[in-house]
Structure 1
Amino acid sequence: MQFANVLRKKRKELHLTQQQLADKLHVTRQTLSRWENNLSYPNLDTLVNLSEFLAVPLDILLKGDGNLMVNKISQDVRDKDKYKRYLMIVSAIFILIFLWLSVLGYGRASQNEWIDRFNPFLRVQYGYAVLPNQVPEKREKTTIIDSDGKNKHVAAVKTPQRVDAFVADDPFGSGSWLKFYTGQYGCKLIPETTFKRGYNE
């Protein structure tokens, strides 16, 4: 017996109208009517619910249709798997694009030259800035190890600091603030006694 005939027979045995059965299966009455007229078939999930509600084994519902319903369900499963693969690929592409843009944005915000050099959205532009003659320095505590690797002592080292300068892009004063490392630096060591006297009093 075809699926449409089984469905119609079982529905009438339960004294249900098409609308009542459709409501229980969460489908429209027109959809149920198409099933009973052999114009379409339910998907696998709906077919399982229908089998449980009508108390008819799945193999009974699937028999007698010349494998049309089986082919339809198999195609639905393949389409669903294909859709999942496409969705995963598209999601992975969007995630990679988001991560790439995030890295480029971080490089722009932090002025990281290693990231900025791969940023296709940054254009090459020349600008001019006035930098100080004397490099600002900061005295920082550090540990000095002798060349033999045996003796070490603590000393205060003058470390060059970055310079914030406004870079003008055109004669009208438009530009942006950038950070620079300027000049050639040499570290002047302060003796340990001076360091202790100056910092550990």
Structure 2
Amino acid sequence: MEMKFGAIMRACREKAGLTQEQLADKLNRTQACVSKYEKDHKIPDMHTMMNWAEVTGAREVIVTFLYGMDGIGMIQRLIGG
């Protein structure tokens, strides 16, 4: 089963306790843009991904996923399951 990157981004945001609107403000994006990233309707550029990771405190999670680690297992660890 293929894991989409948007699900990882959403899990990181939720783990950080941020709403889409709050994260959008920190990234200088719109809430709609954040939603599109999380639904895999839009692909963020590398700068945006790294800012997302920094703001959510999940830099290692996103970098690890980019290197091919299992997304399902990563989400389970993020949500404590």
Q: TM-score, normalised by structure 1?
A: 0.29
Number of aligned pairs? 64
| Residue identity matched to 2:59 | V
Of residues 44, 58, 64 in structure 2, which corresponds to 1:60? 64
> 2:17, 2:49 → 1: CA distance?
20
> 1:61, 1:27 → 2: CA distance?
23
Report deviation, 1:56: 2.5
Instruction: Give unpaired runs (5+ residues) of structure 2.
Output: 70-81
The answer to which structure, 1 or 2, has the higher relative contact order (CA under 8 A, 6+ apart) is: 2
* 1:6-155 equivalences in 2 (<5 Å): 6-54=8-56, 55-57=58-60, 58-62=62-66, 63=68
Does 47-56 or 24-33 show the bigger shift? 47-56
Report deviation, 1:45: 1.3
Task: Provide the alpha-carbon RMSD of the alignment.
Answer: 1.8
Q: Which has the higher strand share?
A: 1
Equivalent position of 1:2 in the other structure: 4
Report deviation, 1:52: 1.7
> 1:26, 1:47 → 2: CA distance?
13
Deviation per residue, 1:23-47 (Å, 9 max, x gap): 0111111110000111111112111
Q: TM-score, normalised by structure 2?
A: 0.66
2:59 aligned counterpart, secondary structure:
coil
> 1:50, 1:61 → 2: CA distance?
14
Query: Would the aligned equivalents of 2:50 and 2:59 in 1 still touch at CA under 8 Å?
Result: no
Equivalent position of 1:74 in the other structure: none
Q: Which runs of 4+ in 1 moved over 3 A?
A: none
Rg larger in structure: 1
> 1:51, 1:15 → 2: CA distance?
13
